[in-house]
């Protein structure tokens, strides 16, 4: 692994850490009959994973 690649990974990791630390506020979510509270950073991560899965499914169906 080149030094540039390691620096890039280190910078991205620090940016992710900053985003998570700045978004620790708890948000309340209502979905149908359920209501729960989770940290905003976890909600953002879940939405990213859901979008990633949907994108992969659509890519597979397109081929």
Q: Where are the domains of the chain?
A: 3-62
Q: How far apart, in whole angstroms, are the C-alpha atoms of residue 56 and residue 2?
A: 29
pLDDT in tens, 22-61: 888 888 988 888 898 988 888 888 888 898 899 889 888 8
- Inter-residue long-range contacts of 38-46, CB under 8 Å, 24+ positions, other chains counted: 44/19
Predicted confidence (pLDDT) at residue 1 exceeds the cutoff of 80: no
CA-nearest of 41, 43, 19, 21 to 30 is 43
Max CA distance (Å), the chain: 51
pTM (whole model) above 0.85: no
Q: What is the structure's pLDDT at 54?
A: 92
């Amino acid at each position: 692994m080149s030094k540039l690649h390691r620096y890039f990974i280190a910078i991205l990791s620090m940016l992710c850490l900053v985003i998570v630390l700045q978004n620790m506020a708890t948000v309340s979510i209502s979905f149908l009959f359920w209501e729960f509270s989770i940290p905003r950073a976890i909600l953002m991560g879940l939405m990213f994973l859901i979008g990633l899965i949907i994108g992969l499914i659509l890519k597979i169906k397109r081929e």
